[in-house]
Amino acid sequence: METPLTPLEFGRRTRRLHGHRQGVVDGDLRLTYEQFFDRCDRWSATLQQELGVAPGDRVATIAPNTHAQLESFYAVPQIGAVLVPINYRLTAEDFDYIINHSGSSVVCVDADYLDAVDSIRDRLPGVRHFVAFGGARDGWLDYEAAVAAASPDFTRPVVDERDLITINYTSGTTARPKGVMITHRNATMNSIGTLLHLPIPVAEPYLWTLPMFHANGWTFTWTVTAAAATHVCLRKVEPAAVFRLIREEHVRRLCAAPTVLISLANAPADVRGEVPPGVVVITAGAPPAAATIERLEGEFGWDVTQVYGLTETAPFITVCAPLPEHEELKPTERAEIKSRQGVELLTSGELRVQGADGEEVAADGQTLGEIVVRGNVVMSGYYHDPEATERAMGDGWFHTGDAAVVHPDGYAEIRDRIKDVIISGGENISSVEVEGTLLRHPAIQEAAIVGLPDERWGETPQAFVVLRDGQTATGDEIIAFARERLAHFKAPRGVTFVTELPKTATGKIQKYVLRDGAPNLTRQ
């Protein structure tokens, strides 16, 4: 009587109970859930019957947040195939590597990236079919025409919950990207855990400010459907467009990395327009600054919740779940707690912070260790990379590489990536802590802290700062600001002003780029 755990069940239920409700908004296009799933079925039939895609085959997509991209998350797995959603912000060379490494036989591409893929077609011998989500031309199958011409009838294979549903490639900022193998079970458990801790009302509009390719949109590609809420697609995240859609589509929920939240919080009044209160924001990808949370909640009247995880954990491991006693705190104190990573989701599995000896660290908010996890959401491994899989999880725990402390209430707080902890004169300095302090300076919009070599101290912190439009500050002022609020050894020794910080496509600051370029800098 058991049925496999798969997000495809979410679609079956929502189609049956809520087929008449608005499921997808993409510009002028509006689809009910029945219309949406009819399109998914027609694309499944085309893939299976016309393009020869069999169970286990890989289908890659390169596209922003559109209805076609969303349809792939259902049409591909329901014929037993594996979706490979590729970061569209990568280079053609990256596309070459990922498509070949994954062994994808079909590649579906948004109109904006056809030229990039055409430039490498002769290096993709395993690809049998190239599909254009828009702007089809010679050598490309027209997606919309194929969907319109197809029958919705296809053969549904039996899906095992441990079958792969996606292969998600990591950012590859310091090495070749690795293919994270996510199973139907991984994705299902993440979605259920998300809805347990962060429930979404039926028919509530959800705005796609997070890339769908990023860990399957944190599985919201399936979670929103499970709730019978409405997917509001957004091709490009620009503050003006975000605020406009929040107003026009009555959006009350979105996910975003802290860098996106910073751009929204610092958008000029004429860009923001009227900001409706009551928007629920889920943030992850990097530790958000308490100052950013305080501003969004205090000025906008939004509700910010942080979750934590990695692509390898499908992705959520923890949620900063609110407690009754948090309501009694001052806004600044509550924002400090909300900037922590929190506690395990009910469905994610076990998390511990352990020292170099393998033992759990004391829950004192001070002792640093590495976050390791095991449980329902941890990937089955890296695709075609047994050595990397063994290094990451060979002892039965997935090692995240994140350095954290545990507070007396059991809430974990990331202090840094282990590789980014600055050791100065034998003292550990958390770059996240220093960055959070600098973001309270009224002139600073973004800040990054890296360790630079120092003959006396080994290394010392250097600040890279983006100022808000129309604001000014000197390096000495910023250093003094930090020294007033931190132990002096934690304050930056120099400040470099930049117009923007280098980031991955998912909004994480590329600190290695800052370190590599630092020898050419003059420290203030």
Q: Are residues 141 and 250 in the same domain?
A: no
Asked whether residue 4 is assigned to any structural domain, the reply reads no
- Residue 319 and residue 435 in one domain: no
Q: What is the pLDDT of residues 289-306, one digit of tens each?
A: 788 888 899 999 999 999
Contacts of 477 (CB under 8 A, 6+ apart): none
Is 158 found in the same domain as 69?
A: yes
**For 408, phi and psi rounded to 5 degrees?**
-55, -25
Q: Write down the pLDDT at residue 262.
A: 87
Model pLDDT, residue 174: 52
The pLDDT, as a whole number, for residue 523 is: 42
**434 plus 404 within the same structural domain:** no
Q: Is 61 in contact with 86 (CB distance < 8 Å)?
A: yes
Quote the tokens at residue 147. 């969907």
pLDDT of residue 290: 81
Average pLDDT over residues 171-188: 85
With 80 as the cut, is the pLDDT of residue 518 above it? no
Residues 262 and 125 in one domain: no
**Does residue 373 share a domain with residue 248?**
yes
DSSP characters for 98-167? Answer: HHHHHTEEEEEE-GGGHHHHHTTGGG-TT--EEEESSS--TT-EEHHHHHHHS-S----PPPPTTSEEEE
The residue length of the chain stands at: 524
Instruction: Classify residue 315: in a domain, yes or no.
Output: yes
Q: Give the pLDDT mean for 160-164.
A: 98
Q: Residue 431 has what pLDDT?
A: 86
pLDDT tens string 229-272: 999 999 999 999 999 999 999 999 999 988 899 899 989 999 99
Are the C-beta atoms of residues 371 and 353 closer than 8 Å to each other? yes
Q: Does 524 have pLDDT greater than 50?
A: no
18 found inside a domain: no
Residue 171 clears pLDDT 80, i.e. is over it: no
Q: Which helix (H) or strand (E) holds 478?
A: helix 475-485
Q: Where is the domain boundary, 368, 389, 417? A: 417
Q: What angle do CA 232, 238, 244 make, to 5 degrees?
A: 55
**Three-state SS across 372-408?**
EEECCCCCCEECCCHHHHHHHHCCCCEEEEEEEEECC
Task: Determine contact, residues 349/318, Cβ cutoff 8 Å.
Answer: no
Q: Which amino acid is at 455?
A: E
This prediction has a pTM of: 0.87
**What does the angle CA 417 – CA 420 – CA 425 come to, to the nearest 5 degrees?**
130
- Indicate if the pLDDT at residue 185 is higher than 80: yes
Number of domains, the chain: 3
| pLDDT tens-place string over residues 12-45 | 999 999 999 999 999 999 999 999 999 999 999 9
Q: Does some domain include residue 375?
A: yes
Residue type at 268 in one-letter notation = P
The angle, 0 to 180 degrees and rounded to 10, between the axes of the packed helices 184-197 and 8-18 is 50
Looking at the structure, do residues 179 and 254 belong to the same domain, yes or no? no
pLDDT at 371 over 80: yes
Q: Does 48 share its domain with 149? A: yes
Please say whether the beta carbons of 147 and 51 come within 8 A: no
- The CATH number of the domain holding residue 372 is 3.40.50.12780
Asked if 249 and 305 sit in the same domain, the reply is yes
Whole-number pLDDT of residue 318: 97
Q: What is the mean pLDDT of the chain?
A: 93
Q: Say what the pLDDT of residue 506 is.
A: 65
pLDDT band for 522, please (50, 70, 90 cuts). Answer: very low
Q: Which of these three, 147, 169, 184, is where a domain ends?
A: 184
Residue 156's pLDDT band (boundaries 50, 70, 90)?
A: very high
Q: Which of 417, 440, 459 is the last residue of a domain?
A: 417
- Answer yes or no: is pLDDT of 74 > 50: yes
Mean pLDDT of 484-495: 90
At 382-412, the pLDDT tens digits run 999 999 999 999 999 999 999 999 999 999 9
Enclosing domain of residue 130: 29-184
392 and 465 fall within a common domain: no
Q: How many CB atoms lie within 10 A of CB 392?
A: 20
Domain match, 170 and 289 both: no
3-class SS string, 83-102: EEEECCCCCHHHHHHHHHHH
pLDDT of residue 286: 74
The pLDDT of residue 335: 87
In the predicted structure, residue 519 carries a pLDDT above the cut 80: no
**273 shares a domain with 409:** yes
Q: What is the pLDDT of residues 295-344, one digit of tens each?
A: 899 999 999 999 999 999 999 999 999 999 998 999 889 988 988 999 99
pLDDT at 14: 98
423 pairs with which residues across the strands?
A: 428
Rg (CA), the chain: 23
Question: Is pLDDT above 60 for 59?
Answer: yes
In a domain, 192, yes or no: no
Percentage of the chain beyond pLDDT 90 is 81
The mean per-residue pLDDT over the stretch 117-131 comes to 98
CATH code at 471?
Answer: 3.30.300.30
> For position 47, what pLDDT does the model report?
98
Burial 174-213 (b: 16+ CB within 10 A, else e): eeebbbbbbbbbbbbbbbbbbbebbebeeebbbbbbbbbb
Task: Provide, rounded to the nearest whole percent, the portion of the chain with pLDDT above 70.
Answer: 97
